[in-house]
Amino acid sequence: MERKETVGRTLLVMFILCVVCSAVVATTAVLLKPAQRQAMENDRNIYILRIGGLYEPGIPLADQFEQVTPKVVDLETGKFSDEMKPEQAVDARKVSRDPATSIKLDTAEDQAKLIRRENYGLVYLVEKEGELDRLILPIRGYGLWSTLWGFIALEADLNTIVGLGFYQHAETPGLGGEVDNPRWQAQWVGKELFDDGTLAIKVLKGTVDPDSPNAVHQVDGLAGATITSRGVDHMLHYWFSEQGYGKFLENLKSGEA
């Protein structure tokens, strides 16, 4: 006897198919999550090494990253802290959203448009023969369309820039997105943050005059991307103020961190 198709049977088959497909997708997502998390961590570590001028293709990442020591800094006191573990502090986005581990910034002092700032930051020290060789710091700030997430690396003098770059943003390709351009990033190498203790680094609206006595503290602005350029400038002035890494850098210089 031929079985007749009914609306009920069709809906039942569709329901069963949806349940099975949902279960497969959910299971796959759960199984792949650790691998995805590891891939993101690897990408971040490679970027840290690159900004610090330390990355060497072909050498196992784990071996290379052994030269980097992550440490948690209490941004209020400017000293190293054991209140939070490095693996907890690594996700600044999560930490800064939690009222228990962050502070809301006053609009007047929030140059980088962070809204909230984490209480504990994760910094990266590179040492040679027991002495500080380089310091790599996470930075972020709002550009035109998005928050730019990146790192800046400093020489042992805590003034000379080794490298600067952004691993995540949504700025306009060809305009603000030129923060990814290696030629623009190369301009930062050798620039100095401070002039006799005063923060002097500046992203210009235009190009740097190489004959200017301030040229060592200046970087060309991004053509056609004034707001993104201003955002990079503002984030540096925030993160190297007392609200950011200012206290920590002073303590590190004096050996009191």
Give DSSP secondary structure letters for 113-165. --SEEESEEEEEEEEETTEEEEEEEEEEEE-SSSEEEEEEEEETTSSBEEEEE
Going 60 to 62 to 68 to 72, the CA torsion angle's sign is: positive
Q: What are the helix (H) ranges across the chain?
A: 7-51, 61-65, 86-89, 92-97, 182-186, 226-239, 246-254
Of the candidates 202, 195, 189, 193, the residue with the CA atom closest to the CA atom of residue 232: 202
pLDDT, mean over the chain: 90
Does residue 96 have a pLDDT over 80? yes
Condensed to tens digits (0 to 9), the pLDDT of residues 131-184 reads 999 999 999 999 999 999 999 999 999 999 999 999 999 999 999 999 999 999
More confident residue, 173 or 36: 173
Does residue 37 have a pLDDT over 90? no
Percent residues over pLDDT 90 in the chain: 76
Condensed to tens digits (0 to 9), the pLDDT of residues 206-224 reads 999 999 999 999 999 999 9
CA angle 126, 152, 139 (to 5 degrees): 120
Q: Which of 38-47, 86-95, 180-189 has the lowest mean pLDDT?
A: 38-47
Of the candidates 162, 142, 144, the residue with the CA atom closest to the CA atom of residue 153: 162
Please write down the long-range contacts of 216-220, taking CB distance under 8 Å and 24 or more positions apart: 216/190, 216/191, 216/192, 217/191, 217/192, 217/193, 218/191, 219/184, 219/187, 219/188, 219/191, 220/184, 220/187
The helix/strand/coil state of 168 is strand
The model's pTM: 0.85
| Whole-angstrom distance, CA of residue 241 vs CA of residue 177 | 26
Does residue 92 have a pLDDT over 70? yes
Query: What is the pairing mode between strands 218-219 and 202-203?
Result: parallel
Q: Do residues 220 and 187 touch, judged by C-beta distance below 8 A?
A: yes
